[in-house]
Chain A
Amino acid sequence: MRPALADRDAETGLDRSTDVAPAPRRRKSLKRTLVPYAFLSPTGILMIVLLLVPIIMVISYSLMDNVITNKNPVFVGIGNYVDILTDPTFLVAVRNTLVFTGSSVVAHLLLGLGFAMLLNTKLLGNKVKALFRVIYVLPWLFTVAIIAVLWRLMLNPNGVINYLLNTAGIIDQNIEWLSSPSTALFAVTFINIWAGYPFYMISLLAGLQGIPKDLYEAATVDGASARQQFFNVTLPQLKPIIISMAMLDFIWTSQQFALIWMTTGGGPLNVTEMVSTFTYKLAFSRYEFSMASAAAVIVLLATLVLAFFYARHQNARD
């Protein structure tokens, strides 16, 4: 049947009512839709190759009897997870990790906030504050290897820490800070606190400097004391930064490996064994790659919980 005149183009007289006519628009629309994905594809491919594939591989490894050293691995389900979760050393490692991480995060926060407020105060001159900034930020400038070597030397039984404590009359016998089961976990936690507080300090200082002065002026007019201003103005204003940093720090510190490995190796007597050192030993000392994968997946799941709350917190802020 011939199309009606109204369906023909007024100028060309070509038929516009056929099914073929909209096709170029759809192709055009499809291309437009694909362009953003094409731009995103490099990142997407890299994320798949560098993140997703390794994670999937590690999860699949964790379900085998052993891999890499075993050419014909057998599927064992959750057997490795059962072995890991019932391994007394793993449980010790989890406990140590929680103590190490929890103490570090709290101390990082308190020290970082304290130093940030010191650097933000009007009571100190600019030159003094600049000097303090350089001094306080120094620990953050060292790599983990240097921090480990430095503190190993200082905490050596014949090192400078014992010398100072002896000279001050605080101790009368050299303490084996890193080698004694009673002090080793405290020592590595202290080193980690020393190495990590500047990150908080810098971030919180930026946060402090971003708090509107009007709030303090209003509080002063209302007769609020310095303490009340701190708890009712400063802390609420810093809360988003504190929560974000605490969660990130918890994730990072729970995965700390190099510092522990280079100072105590998880010893003595496993008192500084962390989940990270436990996993490393499984893989590179015992060649139990499937067990190590299971341990890694357990850590991944625990970290995912934290990451979930972090992401939710960030979304709530937005």
Chain B
Amino acid sequence: MSNVARSTKVVGAVATTMALLLAAGCSGGGDDASADGSVTLEFAQWWEPELPEGELRALMDTFESENPGITVELLSGPYASTKEQVVAGAATGTMSDVVGLDGAWVSDFAKQGALADMSQLMTDAKYDDSQLASQVQIDGSTYMIPVVNFVYPMFTNDDLLAQAGVDAPPSTRTEFTDAAEAVTALGENTYGWIVPLSLEAPNGIQNDVMSWAWASGGTMLKDGQPDLTNPDVTSAVDYVKSLWDAGVVAPGSLTMKEQDKVEEFTNGRVGMMIDSLAHINLIRESNPDLNFSVSAVPAEDDFTGERGIPYASWGIGVSENSEHKEEAWKLVDFLMSEKTNSDLSSMANAFPGNTTSVPDFVEDDETFAAAFEIYKSGYPANEFVGLPVAEQLMRLFDEQLQKTLTGDQSVDDMLQASQDAWTAEF
């Protein structure tokens, strides 16, 4: 073979290889329906890592056996990376068929046209939605269905409180302040309350700060628009500031994240915190000797109305770009069915999104039973659900709150600045 002929062959081989590589690279997201009509659904969520190993896969196996021809591929990751994956998927039109959603994301994805109108899917499937505990809607259409809900009651370290001379968990703000001061006075690095205000994950604003307003029936919105300077929010922030100034808040708050809060409480250094029921098992496993209980978040002293209890959801939605919306809805329907939803909420230690479902732990566990009573006696409150750029709203509020706590501005100035910043985002 001459040099030229050899060279020609080499060039051809290189070009062919490149073409094949590029073709292979570009064909990754092709149609996932096979020739025999079977369908593979991608389901992206952060739930699997937070559930006991193999439990979510087992549920999917059940779904697959009940729905021959549909296979579910779980795309699992931590919460933060799932969010980034969903954002990227929404941007590029490659969002998974079914996606786990946080209520804080829904508005942006819905406006972007990345999520399918689930009201339409329910109508097409002749689904009776009366059994759903809640639906997250934008402009009258449902884009997310909360599958399970995690409420955020107040956790108290009862031994620490008893040591400080506090007989029962506080139920009013004054009682809370007294208890927090008493626990802090014990010394040895113990503090009454802990609040995570990290700017990286600013959900402490929702769960640990705004919850004080919701617990007294307050609101931060008016006609769907920001209303941060109203007496409810002012009172709540004034109260948080008073706790801070009293020195009863555990140090490190300004960069503390939720897991840091739980760790400090678990180590017995904090008397009270507002936290998710999802962490009960974690606390028990980490410190079996910790004697703690859950109660409703304290309200204003003269408040007699129904208390709002903060919650967070594992929500579910369907991608607008999915070529298999009908099959995707079947998966949603399966997860929201009475039996499956009971199982899932039992596994997750959460309250079910189906009103007819009853998780096992309510009957078996005293702490969860107490939490269920709190849940039933109040109303789930999370006004960030469905708001545009909800996480950014929390961060903007957080930035202003940090300035207030460090003495750089008054509460009134802080709320006005937050109001202005929020209004610009709506």
Interface residues of A, Cβ cutoff 8 Å to B: 28, 31-32, 34-35, 38-39, 41-42, 45, 68-69, 71, 152, 156-158, 174, 176, 178-181, 184, 261-270, 281, 284-287, 289
Q: Is the CB of B253 within 8 A of A179?
A: yes
B225 at the interface (CB under 8 A from A): no
Q: Give B92's nearest chain A residue, CB to CB.
A: A68
Measured CA separation A10–B383 after assembly (Å): 98
CB distance from A182 to the nearest CB of B (A): 10
Closest 3 CB pairs of A and B: A265-B200, A268-B254, A267-B199
Task: Give the residues from 182 to 223 in chain B that come closer than 8 angstroms, CB to CB, to chain A.
Answer: 189, 197-201
Measured CA separation A52–B337 after assembly (Å): 49
What are 17 A-B residue pairs whose CB atoms fall within 8 Å in the complex? Answer: A32-B7, A39-B14, A41-B15, A42-B21, A69-B91, A158-B269, A179-B256, A184-B255, A264-B199, A265-B198, A265-B199, A265-B255, A267-B398, A268-B402, A269-B254, A269-B399, A284-B87
Measured CA separation A38–B395 after assembly (Å): 52
B339 at the interface (CB under 8 A from A): no
User: A267 and B255 in contact (CB under 8 A), knowing A42-B18, A281-B395, A285-B391?
Assistant: yes
Q: Is the CB of A176 within 8 A of B14?
A: no
Q: Is the CB of A286 within 8 A of B252?
A: no
Q: Is the CB of A28 within 8 A of B4?
A: yes
Q: Is the CB of A69 within 8 A of B112?
A: yes
Contact string against A for B residues 396-426, beta-carbon threshold 8 Å, 1 for contact and 0 otherwise: 0011001100101000000000000000010
Q: Is the CB of B112 within 8 A of A157?
A: no
Cross-chain contact of A179 among B14, B21, B91, B252 (Cβ < 8 A): B252
B8 at the interface (CB under 8 A from A): yes
Note all chain B residues with C-beta closer than 8 A to A41: 14-15, 18
CB distance from A120 to the nearest CB of B (A): 40
Note all chain A residues with C-beta closer than 8 A to B199: 264-268
- Known A174-B251, A263-B255, A281-B395; further 17 A-B contacts with Cβ < 8 A: A31-B7, A38-B11, A41-B15, A42-B14, A45-B22, A69-B111, A264-B199, A264-B255, A266-B200, A268-B254, A268-B402, A270-B399, A281-B392, A285-B389, A285-B391, A286-B425, A287-B389
Measured CA separation A178–B18 after assembly (Å): 50
Q: Is the CB of A69 within 8 A of B395?
A: no
Task: Classify the secondary structure of A's interface with B.
Answer: loop
Measured CA separation A261–B217 after assembly (Å): 35
Q: Is the CB of B91 within 8 A of A178?
A: no
User: A158 and B395 in contact (CB under 8 A), knowing A31-B4, A267-B254?
Assistant: no
Contact string against A for B residues 1-18, beta-carbon threshold 8 Å, 1 for contact and 0 otherwise: 000100110110011011
Q: Give A283's nearest chain B residue, CB to CB.
A: B87
B108 at the interface (CB under 8 A from A): yes
Measured CA separation A263–B200 after assembly (Å): 9
Measured CA separation A284–B392 after assembly (Å): 9
B84 at the interface (CB under 8 A from A): yes
CB distance from B71 to the nearest CB of A (A): 30
CB distance from A41 to the nearest CB of B (A): 6
Measured CA separation A284–B15 after assembly (Å): 39
Measured CA separation A263–B395 after assembly (Å): 16
User: A38 and B392 in contact (CB under 8 A), knowing A157-B252, A265-B201?
Assistant: no
CB distance from A179 to the nearest CB of B (A): 4
B77 at the interface (CB under 8 A from A): no
Note all chain B residues with C-beta closer than 8 A to A178: 252, 255
Note all chain A residues with C-beta closer than 8 A to B255: 178-179, 184, 263-265, 267-268
Q: Is the CB of A264 within 8 A of B200?
A: yes
Give the one of B10, B15, B91 with max A CB within 10 A: B91
Cross-chain contact of B254 among A45, A156, A179 (Cβ < 8 A): A179
